[in-house]
Amino acid sequence: MSIYKTRLEELELMGRSRVLPHPEAIASARINLTSNDYLGIATDINLRKQFLETLTHETLLGSTSSRLLTGNSQAANQLEATISALYANACLLANSGYHANIGILPALANKNSLILMDKLAHASLIDGARLSEARLLRFRHNDMQHLSQLLEQNHAQYEQVFIVVESLYSMDGDFCNLQTLAELKRTYANASLYVDEAHAVGIYGDRGLGYCEQCGVLEDIDILVGTFGKAFGSYGAYIICSQELKRFLVNSMRSLIFTTALPPITYAWSDFVVNAVSAQDWRRSKLLKAAATLRRAISLGGNASHIIPLILGSDEAAVRLSKTLRDAGFYCMPIRPPTVPEGTSRIRFSLTADVEEDDLQQLIEFLRNEAAID
């Protein structure tokens, strides 16, 4: 096992060794700027109390098996029905966004398939593509011209082409050009559009269904992946697709078939939250207002998402500033390679609806002094 010791030592020398953070350090922070609990749902005590009052002694804490055996609970079916009604399309639950993304492409793509994926797509999407038998080509991040060129050059050689993107990229906080993507997809009869909305659902769109809803392109999306573990403050994920595609995934998606289903209580909480959040637009408004304030302070233009990167360059600078921020009560972690490209280490501020205006102004003032932001 000495090879792993050597590799660990190499990571230490590069300043890239990672450890699990202490829960006490997170809990004691004045502001948590690393959380994916974007709408403040997971920490909302009142919502939790309301949910617990809906439970009975019959609510199961374990699912007992895969959904294809005895794990297909009424709570799972109810959650699928709720999400399906919102999107007016079929819904299939997955145990996490990772489970969804490593299962979809291996199930659908074969040797006669081509996957065209954004260069900055999430690791789970990359892993899913690698597990498939399809050919994988990457296009430059958000470069629709490059994607168009790859489509034109390669589409005729394949039975099907999957265009795979995220609607909101979690490391840069920038949105995908969904309207152009939809137009490109419509140009090629064998093209399908696969959009991961993990960081956008619950926040964007008139009903909080994500950036695809906000851009008016939901009908153009063949496969949409959303998660419950971020804005909805729960756990798990869902796949929006046609009824035919859902049936096919049930029969072929290994990450669904060969894993134990989530506990019914988890499905029930997700369903409760989805229904509750639909009537709480104030959470989205507060979050996006805070994001606009911090973006202006850091002098970031572009699309005003709630994920705000402060790119510092070196690993050392990112580690140093993150420690300084944590010592001051602002909990945030450095983002370093291989998560981001070399030379782009950063602090990523993930804002939530829990952040108050006074705390935000203190953060901005602190950054002006410590990070020399304008």
What residue ranges define each of the domains in the chain, with the CATH number in brackets? Answer: 3-32+281-370 (3.90.1150.10), 56-278 (3.40.640.10)
Task: Classify each residue of 4-38 as buried b or exposed e, where b means 16 or more C-beta atoms within 10 Å of its C-beta.
Answer: eeeeeeeeeeeebeeeeeeeeeeeebebbbbbbbb
- Give the type of residue at 302: G
- What mean pLDDT comes out for the span 42-57? 93
Q: What is the pLDDT of residues 238-290, one digit of tens each?
A: 999 999 999 999 999 999 999 999 999 999 999 999 999 888 899 999 999 99
Residue 327 has pLDDT above 60, yes or no: yes
Q: Taking the CB of residue 322, how many other CB atoms lie within 10 A of it?
A: 25
Residue 260 tokens, joined: 């134990």
Residue 304 has pLDDT above 80, yes or no: no
Which of 215-219, 227-231, 312-316 shows the lowest per-residue confidence on average (mean pLDDT)?
Answer: 312-316
Average pLDDT, the chain: 94
β-strands 135-139, 113-118 pairing: parallel
Q: What's the CA gap between 131 and 312, in Å, rounded?
A: 34
The sign of the torsion formed by the CA atoms of 149, 121, 302, 316 equals negative
What pLDDT, on a 0 to 100 scale, did the predictor assign at position 300?
Answer: 60
Which of 137-141, 155-159, 191-195, 302-306 shows the lowest per-residue confidence on average (mean pLDDT)?
Answer: 302-306
Residue 1 has pLDDT above 70, yes or no: no
What pLDDT, on a 0 to 100 scale, did the predictor assign at position 344?
Answer: 92
What pLDDT, on a 0 to 100 scale, did the predictor assign at position 32?
Answer: 92
Q: What's the CA gap between 364 and 131, in Å, rounded?
A: 43
Residue 356 tokens, joined: 């108050």
Higher pLDDT, 245 or 172: 245
Which residues are part of the catalytic machinery? 36, 122, 166, 170, 196, 199, 230
Largest CA distance in the chain: 60
Q: At 316, phi and psi to the nearest 5? A: -60, -45
Q: Closest by alpha carbon to 162, among 129, 187, 130?
A: 129
Does the bond joining 338 to the residue before it have cis omega, within 30 degrees of 0?
yes
Residue 319 has pLDDT above 60, yes or no: yes
Q: What is the pLDDT of residues 208-226, one digit of tens each?
A: 999 999 999 999 999 999 9
Q: Are 30 and 330 in contact (CB under 8 A)?
A: yes
What pLDDT, on a 0 to 100 scale, did the predictor assign at position 20?
Answer: 86
- What mean pLDDT comes out for the span 95-119? 99
Place of tokens 């991961």: 196
What pLDDT, on a 0 to 100 scale, did the predictor assign at position 110?
Answer: 98
Q: What's the CA gap between 130 and 122, in Å, rounded?
A: 13
Confidence class for position 57, pLDDT limits 50, 70, 90: confident
Residue 115 DSSP code: E
Q: Taking the CB of residue 279, how many other CB atoms lie within 10 A of it?
A: 7
Residue 374 has pLDDT above 60, yes or no: no
